[in-house]
Chains A and B, each alone.
Chain A
């Protein structure tokens, strides 16, 4: 039996290794070696995150109870009453982690997180300013809330002075502990007070406002969630890539003839499904959308040429690190206009709320939001190209990242440029996959005698990868549906996979961002983002499919192309040659 299973095991084991074992080994969050306090907070964060993700799977249960209506961008959504308090607690945990983590980080991070606290929570910072009634929570609660609102970030920023006390270490320690206690106390007071004031208001006969305020926070800060959605969109590409690599690794020991036939069969099946069965759709697209067809063909050819150009030299650098950085840098760059707008409008909201202004400050009103959204991404793409070219000349590791930046920047610059035109010609993933498969089929037909094993493996990996990746994750949904899994299972799986395999950078450390800070900041950000997702899912808000599509097209496609060129073709051939 073991013998019979051996070939299967030989193929499946590398897939398992590539898809799960290795990513988890290198990419999970490890709490070992963290300071006890930080580790404790991180555990609270992990439990919160896990609880949120489980809750995401059963969000329908929340809605069995009483619902309260909230107005979200001129439409009504229905929010489970019980969710308000739970969400406040989750926000409390998220901000506690973020602020605590920031106190271990460089001044820039400290100030940024402190400012973000003020901006994001601006709608809450003035909540319940009611002088009605004679209850302490209603009369003095707003003042206390405001004090806590300012005290928490003030404690984080004041911590900058602690290093100046290094000659008196005991004093520095006492001040450090004191500031952390002050910060934690202020954050806890701020959020608990929100709940307490809400209860007091309702008891006094006033309608509750917390749900609308929280909704305001989430609507205002939805841009914060965008990088995570973009990374998740690229994650589909990553996962497909891991499967393809695993399969390729498993095929290393197969005889050439078998692999040749297997590849031929794979290509044939793929063409039958995509071209044969999908002919009405495909032909209709080609005939009805000549512009999009031409754009797809030209884009694929140019992208292939560019990838060939940047990957023509052999390299043995760390692709995984470069890929992870590309994903995060690209996501942040693509989300940057909205993040800037968030900061600007959030600052405006902060000023309006705190200074009781009648209208937004001039700078916020006149801030060129549209121009920023229109021109900043292409500008950043241009910067990516320049940086990519410069880095290609530096050390090996930078050169690898430079290659990726060059591909990413060039693709994004052109595609954003085309999107800005009035015609918006469109792009077909299905056609792209067909073109890739046809190209492989052509190579197979023309050179099948001369294709050696490494090349066959590389081509197999390309065919599998393009199939998995260019369906945009539909296959995950399809597999999930087979097991009648909730629709959210796919999202939760993606988040969990990111948590256990895409968190490798939290194991690193640098003077500006020590490990403690990385773990807490990353967990805090994830909790904040998942809290937003949980809120949206529970109130039945629209899914962020548009952001996912943008991320997949602008980031996923070029990163995928670069991975094909660097890892699946050049990397494999180089390794085979070296072997």
Chain B
């Protein structure tokens, strides 16, 4: 017999146990708490950040007053942010004036800011066409608690700015009918020192969460007083629009195509799919999202947070904004708005025209299903298991409801109801207007596909291979049909058919009335949803095979392989843009995605097809400092940034030809030699490397200057510009001079132009034609050029400065030197001259203006406007014009560097390609080959690469 322990003994035992467990808990929890606290990331001064919020996407609209008079509005938006370590806190803020005080009409500029721990500095600004760096970077705001006053001195070009800023007071400010609390009133006084010194005073009221709500810029000497007052703000901190905002706001209206093609997610569209490729668009690091369309606009959200609108009719990137990434859903276009859910739990409504935010709404968790729009209400399913209805005009919450679990699949709408399906297979219908639950029903298994709303039915499939049709109004089960192959991914529904893909390998058509399986066809393995296009069913296999079956009986109509020079992987659903079906296809294991647009209009069958790019990426040792050239045997001549001319054979073998201490413009292939400038001499070195065969005086090294090869009496010769002295013709093999013509000293940053008969045109202060045998000047035209020239059909085209007919593009009769026509150009891109081919002349200016003219008359055939200037020379091949936009070279990670392909005759957009990153240090860097290929330097993880790009149709 054992005695029961007494109370004291029990307490002792419990106490001992408590102490032991308590000690274990303390040992676990205290260090954990310390580590969690210590690992909280430090950040910039929060008060400073609140006074100048620079969260991506944040948009301000100011009413502008010039001398007390209204002067339109200024829209300001944080459109870009850096992603690398050094530029992690860099923000690009873009401003656009509706009526710029400095001049009539719109105006725009961009500013770069860097956020440090206790100050925000401006590192530079970009006005159209060029970037200007501030040296040193200028503080625009410092942590008010630590630095209420601060001084700035910075310079750009010949201008110096000095100022002293003081925090005057913390005060409540009423602007546009709203009182902002605890604003910091700053006053800056300083000087702008240029050709003369101007006094300037600047006052700014910075309010927590909003930034500047009012600012006044005074220059007494010019009697200038400009004031801006905030009239709307859309950012993470608040979403506000005052009644004073009288600027036009995008009208809401029809809903564009999105995930599932429409808001019922029917994946059904009218038309006839053709094999005609309308255009392609290749981007890097975008993920493979389903694109959305609004008219002819391609709307894309990308993993890195980028949202862009590409006008696929004109071929222009309308706007691009980089929000917090990653974005994991397709955008939705509704009227003049584009709805985008970012990676920071926010839904943005961006203007479809400008990308500026019109409203923003925050959620408790990520939105990972595409929003749905109907009857003026945006229905958003967030990952915290809530469904929210938002007024599409104002962004205000109309209703909210709990779904219990997170919704991954886009809700579908029809007849005033929104239907959601959770992963467990619960279907719920709510009214779009107020979110009231109308009915709920459960599938037998977990959700496999759907929901799709079409007419009066909701279609879904579960993971056990059962397809369901519920009555939309009542939720009653109309039919369920077990199919042999498990539907995965999606359903496509039309009046007379329900189509699905089973087991990724079988296409099935079911009756929408009974669920009876009408036919089954085996198809290539696919991960993308099937689409009903007119009377056909379209599937895209994983490797890019497009298969079309007749909807009626499932008989195969035709098959076609998406063109590519690499293995394709199609994982995302196609989208619709205009009259084209857009298929996203990843390039094998690479991060590139090409969007292939196939026409749904049979009339397009007669049009020239779009262009896709076959790319041969060739690694180069160093960043090219001049346009890369290609030799007849397909080798590349690369003038590297380290001032070595290197020949890279087609098999990748690299041979350094020579090295110089001066600027290296490149080399000209001449038979088995390559001619380039070393020091102040032209040297001819064997193409395979070795000692120079001959040399010739060249004068000081000059950017863009290269020799030209030709022939005299069947004997190869080289025409050598000798800077500041003249032009020489020498024997190609020996370097023996044939003739030398002295020219007046002047700029000669160019390459002599070889005419069909063998004569050459060269320019210093005049453009002159030289006889190939004697060097005798046959004619001259007054005017200098800093760019390459072109010739075609007996006409010479040159971009001339202060010529006989003024500054601009001139067409000269090659026989007489007489001007045939002239087109003024105010901001020529240095070194990049016109290109002539197929009866047209192409010119592109420094700010990105592209014009195609009739070569005979100078008549303008079509024009395009780019955001930035050219990266090199336009290239024409097979009726296609290729132009490379330089992008913003001040930012290695920007995404505006882009190759464009247009129909040379009509300007129609045919294709585009975004190189991974700019691979140049100077413009021009990109060049072309005689057979129409492009040579585009780029930079990637593996280092510098030259992309040999061939546009194919």
A→B interface (CB under 8 Å): 39-40, 43-44, 47-48, 60, 63-64, 67, 69, 75-76, 78, 81-82, 84-86, 88-89, 93, 192, 195-196, 198-199, 202-208, 280-281, 284-285, 288-289, 487, 540, 545
Are the C-beta atoms of B27 and A44 separated by less than 8 Å? yes
For A41, give the chain B residue with the smallest CB separation. B24
Residues from chain B with a CB closer than 8 A to the CB of A196 are 38
Within 8 Å by CB of B31, from A76, A89, A198, A285, lies A89
Q: Is B190 an interface residue (CB 8 A)?
A: no
Are the C-beta atoms of A285 and B21 separated by less than 8 Å? no
Are the C-beta atoms of B483 and A195 separated by less than 8 Å? no
Within 8 Å by CB of B28, from A47, A67, A76, A540, lies A47
Q: Restricting to B29-45, which residues have a CB under 8 Å from any CB of A?
A: 31-32, 35-36, 38-39, 41-42
For B39, give the chain A residue with the smallest CB separation. A85
Q: How far is the CB of A104 from chain B (nearest CB, A)?
A: 19
Q: Restricting to B66-89, which residues have a CB under 8 Å from any CB of A?
A: 83, 85-86, 88-89
Q: Is B142 an interface residue (CB 8 A)?
A: no
0/1 string, B312-330, CB within 8 A of A gives 1: 0000000000000110100
Q: Restricting to B749-799, which residues have a CB under 8 Å from any CB of A?
A: none
Q: Is B23 an interface residue (CB 8 A)?
A: yes
Residues from chain B with a CB closer than 8 A to the CB of A206 are 85, 88
Q: How far is the CB of B420 from chain A (nearest CB, A)?
A: 17
Cα–Cα, bound, A48→B86 (Å): 38
Residues from chain B with a CB closer than 8 A to the CB of A40 are 20, 23-24, 27
Q: Work out how many contacts link A and B, with CB atoms closer than 8 A.
A: 99
Across the A-B interface, the 9 shortest Cβ-Cβ residue pairs: A43-B24, A288-B482, A206-B85, A85-B39, A76-B326, A44-B24, A284-B482, A89-B32, A202-B41
Residues from chain A with a CB closer than 8 A to the CB of B303 are 76
For B38, give the chain A residue with the smallest CB separation. A199
Contact of A288 with B483 at beta-carbon distance under 8 Å, contacts A47-B28, A69-B325 already known: yes
Are the C-beta atoms of B366 and A93 separated by less than 8 Å? no
Cα–Cα, bound, A203→B385 (Å): 35
Contact of A78 with B85 at beta-carbon distance under 8 Å, contacts A63-B383, A199-B41 already known: no
Contact of A280 with B480 at beta-carbon distance under 8 Å, contacts A63-B383, A64-B364, A195-B39 already known: yes
Q: How far is the CB of B463 from chain A (nearest CB, A)?
A: 9
Residues from chain B with a CB closer than 8 A to the CB of A281 are 444, 466, 480
Are the C-beta atoms of A195 and B21 separated by less than 8 Å? no
Residues from chain B with a CB closer than 8 A to the CB of A69 are 325-326, 343
Q: Is B446 an interface residue (CB 8 A)?
A: yes
Cα–Cα, bound, A545→B464 (Å): 13
Q: Is B61 an interface residue (CB 8 A)?
A: no
Q: Restricting to B1-59, which residues have a CB under 8 Å from any CB of A?
A: 20-21, 23-25, 27-28, 31-32, 35-36, 38-39, 41-42
Cα–Cα, bound, A81→B383 (Å): 17
Are the C-beta atoms of B482 and A285 separated by less than 8 Å? yes
Known contacts A205-B85, A206-B85, A288-B481; can you find 10 more A-B pairs with CB under 8 A? A39-B20, A76-B287, A81-B41, A195-B39, A198-B39, A199-B39, A202-B41, A284-B466, A285-B482, A545-B446
Q: How far is the CB of B593 from chain A (nearest CB, A)?
A: 12
Q: How far is the CB of A258 from chain B (nearest CB, A)?
A: 35
Q: Restricting to B907-947, which residues have a CB under 8 Å from any CB of A?
A: none
Are the C-beta atoms of B326 and A86 separated by less than 8 Å? no
Cα–Cα, bound, A192→B39 (Å): 10
Within 8 Å by CB of A84, from B28, B39, B42, B89, lies B39
Are the C-beta atoms of A47 and B446 separated by less than 8 Å? no
Q: Decide if the interface of chain A is mainly helix, strand, loop or mixed.
A: helix
For A188, give the chain B residue with the smallest CB separation. B31
Are the C-beta atoms of A86 and B484 separated by less than 8 Å? no
Are the C-beta atoms of B365 and A63 separated by less than 8 Å? yes
B→A interface (CB under 8 Å): 20-21, 23-25, 27-28, 31-32, 35-36, 38-39, 41-42, 83, 85-86, 88-89, 287, 303, 325-326, 328, 343-345, 364-366, 368, 383-385, 405-406, 444, 446, 466, 480-484
Cα–Cα, bound, A85→B32 (Å): 8
Within 8 Å by CB of B405, from A89, A207, A285, A487, lies A487
For A291, give the chain B residue with the smallest CB separation. B484
Q: How far is the CB of B402 from chain A (nearest CB, A)?
A: 11
Are the C-beta atoms of B28 and A48 separated by less than 8 Å? yes
Residues from chain A with a CB closer than 8 A to the CB of B20 are 39-40, 43
For B446, give the chain A residue with the smallest CB separation. A545
Q: How far is the CB of B554 from chain A (nearest CB, A)?
A: 18
Within 8 Å by CB of B21, from A43, A85, A89, lies A43
Within 8 Å by CB of B35, from A48, A60, A93, A192, lies A192
For A89, give the chain B residue with the smallest CB separation. B32
Residues from chain B with a CB closer than 8 A to the CB of A192 are 35
Q: How far is the CB of A502 from chain B (nearest CB, A)?
A: 22
Cα–Cα, bound, A60→B368 (Å): 15
For A78, give the chain B residue with the smallest CB separation. B366
Are the C-beta atoms of B24 and A284 separated by less than 8 Å? no
Q: How far is the CB of A216 from chain B (nearest CB, A)?
A: 17
Q: How far is the CB of A413 from chain B (nearest CB, A)?
A: 25
Cα–Cα, bound, A88→B31 (Å): 12
Are the C-beta atoms of A60 and B42 separated by less than 8 Å? no
Residues from chain B with a CB closer than 8 A to the CB of A487 are 405
Within 8 Å by CB of B484, from A82, A207, A208, A288, lies A288
Cα–Cα, bound, A205→B86 (Å): 6
Are the C-beta atoms of A76 and B328 separated by less than 8 Å? yes
Are the C-beta atoms of A89 and B41 separated by less than 8 Å? no
Residues from chain B with a CB closer than 8 A to the CB of A207 are 83, 85, 88
Q: Quick one: which of B21, B32, B42, B484 has the most chain A CB within 10 A?
A: B32
Residues from chain B with a CB closer than 8 A to the CB of A545 are 446
Cα–Cα, bound, A284→B482 (Å): 7
19 A–B contact pairs at CB < 8 A? A39-B20, A40-B23, A40-B27, A44-B24, A47-B25, A60-B365, A64-B364, A67-B343, A67-B344, A69-B326, A76-B328, A78-B383, A199-B39, A205-B88, A207-B83, A280-B480, A285-B482, A288-B484, A540-B368
Within 8 Å by CB of A67, from B23, B25, B366, B444, lies B366
Cα–Cα, bound, A202→B39 (Å): 10
Q: How far is the CB of B177 from chain A (nearest CB, A)?
A: 33
Cα–Cα, bound, A40→B303 (Å): 47
Q: How far is the CB of B368 from chain A (nearest CB, A)?
A: 8
Cα–Cα, bound, A69→B42 (Å): 19
For B384, give the chain A residue with the smallest CB separation. A60
Q: How far is the CB of B602 from chain A (nearest CB, A)?
A: 37
Cα–Cα, bound, A67→B482 (Å): 41
Q: How far is the CB of A207 from chain B (nearest CB, A)?
A: 6
Residues from chain B with a CB closer than 8 A to the CB of A75 are 328
Residues from chain A with a CB closer than 8 A to the CB of B88 are 205-207
Are the C-beta atoms of B35 and A540 separated by less than 8 Å? no
Cα–Cα, bound, A507→B710 (Å): 94
Cα–Cα, bound, A173→B482 (Å): 69
Are the C-beta atoms of B364 and A89 separated by less than 8 Å? no
Are the C-beta atoms of A540 and B384 separated by less than 8 Å? no
Cα–Cα, bound, A230→B480 (Å): 32
Within 8 Å by CB of B24, from A47, A76, A89, A280, lies A47
For B23, give the chain A residue with the smallest CB separation. A40
For B482, give the chain A residue with the smallest CB separation. A288
Cα–Cα, bound, A217→B21 (Å): 31
Q: How far is the CB of B166 from chain A (nearest CB, A)?
A: 30
Cα–Cα, bound, A99→B89 (Å): 42
Residues from chain B with a CB closer than 8 A to the CB of A60 are 365, 384-385
Residues from chain B with a CB closer than 8 A to the CB of A205 are 85-86, 88-89
Residues from chain A with a CB closer than 8 A to the CB of B405 are 487
Cα–Cα, bound, A10→B632 (Å): 98
Q: How far is the CB of B406 from chain A (nearest CB, A)?
A: 7
Cα–Cα, bound, A198→B42 (Å): 12
For B21, give the chain A residue with the smallest CB separation. A43
